[in-house]
């Protein structure tokens, strides 16, 4: 697969890939056709300046076309179902166990490093994107490594990696 510089591979399970393919086919087929029909019908009503149905259909068309572009991009960059090596290095496709440094409850947390679109296909585990602050900071780390990242509120957070194993559906 050829990648342009600056584009990251997105790791997806086969289920997540199939779900995204189905969504794309639905948007490019029946949904797109329905919107075209709505726009055509609204045009037939006359004056487009004050035609709420026409403007709503055009807005919906913009949202759908944006999602189509997003899905096409994700699927073009997808690496499907290839389990990463069990070498303990955090990378997309790994289930990561970590805990916050200085956290009083001493409870470990676990997540799958992968595309957010996988959440519907993975039960019982959070999915963090490699582009998310924690995902980006922890990518490439090993058990025992401490990494820091800026939380969305600007606060610096530190976590220690306890382990990383390949995701097994």
| Domain total in the chain | 2
CATH number of the domain enclosing 64: 1.10.287.180
CATH number of the domain enclosing 136: 3.10.50.30
| Neighbour count for residue 20 (Cβ, 10 Å) | 22
SS3 of the chain: the string is: CCCCCCCCCEEECHHHHHHHHHHHHHHHHHHHHHHHHHHHHHHCCCCCCCCHHHHHHHHHHHHHHHHHHHHHHHHHHEEECCCCCCCCCCCCCEEEEEEECCCCCCCCEEEEECCHHHHHHCCCCEEECCCCHHHHHHCCCCCCCEEEEECCCCCEEEEEEEEEEECCC
Q: Domain check: are 104 and 155 in the same one? A: yes
Q: Which domain holds residue 16?
A: 10-80
Rounded-to-integer distance, Cα 83 and Cα 168, Å: 8
In-domain check, residue 4: no
Task: Among 54, 80, 106, identify where a domain stops.
Answer: 80
What phi and psi values does residue 166 have, to the nearest 5 degrees?
A: -60, 145
Band (pLDDT 50/70/90 cuts) for residue 32 is very high
**Range with the poorest average pLDDT among 24-33, 71-80, 82-91:** 82-91
The per-residue pLDDT for range 1-25, each reduced to its tens digit, is 344 434 577 777 777 788 889 999 9
Q: Domain check: are 37 and 63 in the same one? A: yes
The per-residue pLDDT for range 34-65, each reduced to its tens digit, is 999 999 988 887 777 777 888 889 999 999 99
């Amino acid at each position: 697969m050829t990648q342009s510089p600056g584009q990251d591979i997105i790791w997806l399970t086969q289920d997540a890939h199939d779900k995204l393919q189905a969504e794309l086919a639905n948007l490019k087929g029946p949904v797109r056709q329905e919107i075209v029909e709505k726009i055509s019908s609204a045009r037939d009503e006359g004056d487009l300046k004050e035609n709420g149905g026409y403007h709503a259909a055009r807005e919906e068309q913009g949202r759908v076309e944006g999602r189509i572009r997003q899905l096409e991009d994700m699927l073009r960059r997808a690496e499907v179902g290839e389990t990463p090596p069990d070498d303990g290095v955090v990378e997309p496709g790994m289930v990561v166990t970590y805990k916050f440094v200085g956290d009083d409850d001493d409870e470990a947390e676990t997540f799958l490093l992968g595309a957010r679109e996988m959440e519907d296909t993975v039960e019982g585990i959070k999915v963090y994107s490699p582009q998310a602050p924690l995902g980006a900071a922890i990518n490439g780390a090993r058990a025992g490594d401490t990494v820091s990242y800026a939380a969305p509120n600007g606060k610096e957070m530190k976590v220690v990696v306890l382990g990383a194993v390949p995701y097994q559906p």
